[in-house]
Each structure stands twice: as structure tokens, then as C-alpha cells.
Amino acid sequence: MEHGSPFGTHRVISPKGVLPQPADVVDNNMEIYDNEVLIDVKTLNVDSASFTQIESQANGNIEKIKDIMKGIVARAGKLKNPVTGSGGMLIGAVNEIGPAYKGNLKVGDKLATLVSLSLTPLVIDEILEVRPKIDQIDIKGQAILFQSGIYAVLPEDMPETLALSVLDVAGAPAQTARLVQSGDTVVVIGGGGKSGLLCLYEAKKRAGVAGKVICIGGSEKSAGRAEKLGLADECVVFDATDAVGVYDKIAELTNGELADIVINCVNIENTEMGSILACKDRGTVYFFSMATSFTKAALGAEGVGKDVNIVIGNGYCKNHAEIALQALRDCRPLRELFEKMYA
């Protein structure tokens, strides 16, 4: 059995010299190296931006969605959307563990990988079911976890699909918990979605009674979810691609002060400038959305003379899985909504 790089570079076919995520093609042969883990995959939770793009390309046709996803994996050896560059994550059970792998896993453990499908060697033998409303597909297939790959053993106190939906966006509420301070004014764009609701919960908790949390939803239904749960002080419906309109609305709601923290969780393009304009100088804009263009954000902020800290969402931060799952345990109404939507 051959020894592999802990970062998975031994699996990169092209271009040589890069890590598996930016690679165009990886080796998805399921014969493991001595420091890898083989997983029997049950469900893929596709990144929202990626699933939205694939669904649009397929005109909503389920069979075409299946064909597109299988085609991506056949070409790249992984589920990395060539348009969005994003992937998602998976749940499954440990089938085999290389003898040199360092960790506490054992064969049969049920886990969720906390690394992107855009870097994970994957084989799809069959797509069993597509659930467009929650961006999930059930498959027969296998995947490889590298030595450096992070994961979470699935909790026993909630359904697997519920845990998967939360763990897929665990970085967002954890980063929110890190960024928001008592008394802050926080705007969450896309606050009615999966990651947005978790961010609202953490923002409300961290900003406290002296702070203010504003939810911007793209539809009455979306904003209504947050309003019904009481996760925001203000819930408004607005088109986040209307940058000046977003600025005017947030200025109105904050008496011209704007936001200390803006969190972008939308799954569509061209919302960078609305986020930046809504933030006060020296404030922070956190782009969790995989539809974000760094070029548009950086050059756009420069173009309007905005001195803001731009944070590009890292899907991982310390204890992010625990923070996200605990939010559902602590907030019963939020858990009930997630169970209705995703379990």
C-alpha cells in the first residue's frame, strides 16, 4: 500500500503541483493509500450556489440534474462545479482505514466530512434521489478522506439529514460568533436561508440587547421565517443586487450609521456591493456565499472609497461543527424549522 501526502496532492492528475481543491482533475480510484479513509457515501449536500446553478442549467429537470452531476464527477474525479468552483459535503460510513492514518475513526463510524466535495475524490455509481428544495442527493458511491481532512461523527440526537444540512454551513454561524461583539449593528443578507438563519441566531445572541440585527431576505417567505422566529430586530424584503437600494434601506434603519458587521449568505451573484455599501467605514463584511467574486468585492470597495475589512468565508473555523449543532439544541423553534425543512 503506497503512502500518500496528508494534503492529498498524490491524487492530483492535472495540473501538477496544486492541491486537490484547485485541481481540474483528481484520481478517484477507490483503492486507498495507507493514510486515507474510504467512505461509503449515503448523501451529498451540494453547495447552495452550485446546486442553484446546476438546477438552472437543467431547467429543473431531475434527470438532467443527475446527468450534469455524474458528468462533473466523471470528468474531474470530484464534484467541483466548473461554473461556481464549489462543491458541498457528504455523509457516509467508514469502509476502510489505511494503516498509517492517524485518528480516532473506526470502520462503521457514521460521519460527515467537513471538507469540500470540490477536493474530495468521489465515485457515483448511482443517484437514488434528488431533493432540490434542500440541495441534497442520495447516492450509491464512495469517497476518499485525506489525512488532513476534517470531519464530524454524526450526532445521535438528531436525524442524519438534519445534521448534514447544518454541518454544511457550520463555518458561517461560527465565524459570526467570532466577529460579532456586544452592541454591534449586524446585517445578514440572505438571512432567511439555511446559513442565514444560523447567523442571525448567533448575531442576536452576541450583539445582545444593546445591539441591532437586521435581516434582508429575497422574498416574503424568506424574510418571514426569520421574523416568525424572532431572530432579528428588523426583517425586510429587498433585492440584494440593488447595491444603492440596500445602502439606502440600511441607512434608513440605522439612522445613517450603517452596520458594524455585514454577513452575506446569498447564493446568487452581484451582491458584493450592496454588502459593502451597507457597512460603515472600518466595519467588517463577511462573505460566506460561494457566489462571491473577490475581484468585484475588492475593486468595488476601492471604487466607492469604502475602508472596510473584507473577510472571505472560510468553511472551517475552530469548533464550528459544535457551535452550529448547539444552536439547534439551544433554540427549539429554529430546530423545529430545520426539521421541517431539511430532516
Predicted confidence pLDDT, tens digits, the chain (343 residues)? 899 999 999 999 999 999 999 999 999 999 999 999 999 999 999 988 899 999 999 999 999 999 999 999 999 999 999 999 999 999 999 999 999 999 999 999 999 999 999 999 999 999 999 999 889 999 999 999 999 999 999 998 998 888 888 888 899 999 999 999 999 999 999 999 989 999 999 999 999 999 999 999 999 998 999 999 999 999 999 999 999 999 999 999 999 999 999 999 998 889 999 999 999 999 999 999 878 899 999 999 999 999 999 998 877 888 899 999 999 999 999 999 999 887 7
Residues 206 and 332 grouped into a single domain: yes
The SS3 assignment for 131 reads strand
Per-residue pLDDT at 168: 82
Mark which of 126, 154, 182 sits at the end of a domain: 154
- The reported pLDDT for the residue numbered 306 is 96
Same domain, 306 and 203: yes
State which of 88, 121, 154 marks the end of a domain.
Answer: 154
Domain that holds residue 263: 171-342
Which among 202, 166, 198 is positioned nearest to 181, based on CA atoms? 202
Question: Does residue 4 form part of some domain?
Answer: no
Residues 89 and 178 in one domain: no
Look at residue 38 in the predicted model and tell me its pLDDT. Answer: 98
Q: Could you tell me which residues are beta bridge partners of residue 12?
A: 26
One domain for residues 148 and 223: no
pLDDT of residue 161: 84
Sequence-distant (6+) residues with CB within 8 A of 35 are 3, 4, 6, 98, 100, 101, 102, 146, 147
Is 282 part of a structural domain of the chain?
Answer: yes
**Are residues 187 and 301 located together in one domain of the fold?**
yes
* Sheet of 212-217, strand order: 234-237, 212-217, 185-189, 259-264, 279-287, 309-312
Q: How much is the pTM?
A: 0.82
Q: Are 117 and 184 in a shared domain?
A: no
For residues 178 and 149, membership in a common domain is answered with no
User: How many domains, in total, are found in the chain?
Assistant: 2
For residue 63, what pLDDT is reported? Answer: 97
Task: Please report the pLDDT score of residue 44 as a whole number.
Answer: 96
The verdict on 182 and 318 lying in the same domain is yes
Cell 465565524: give the residue.
Answer: 175
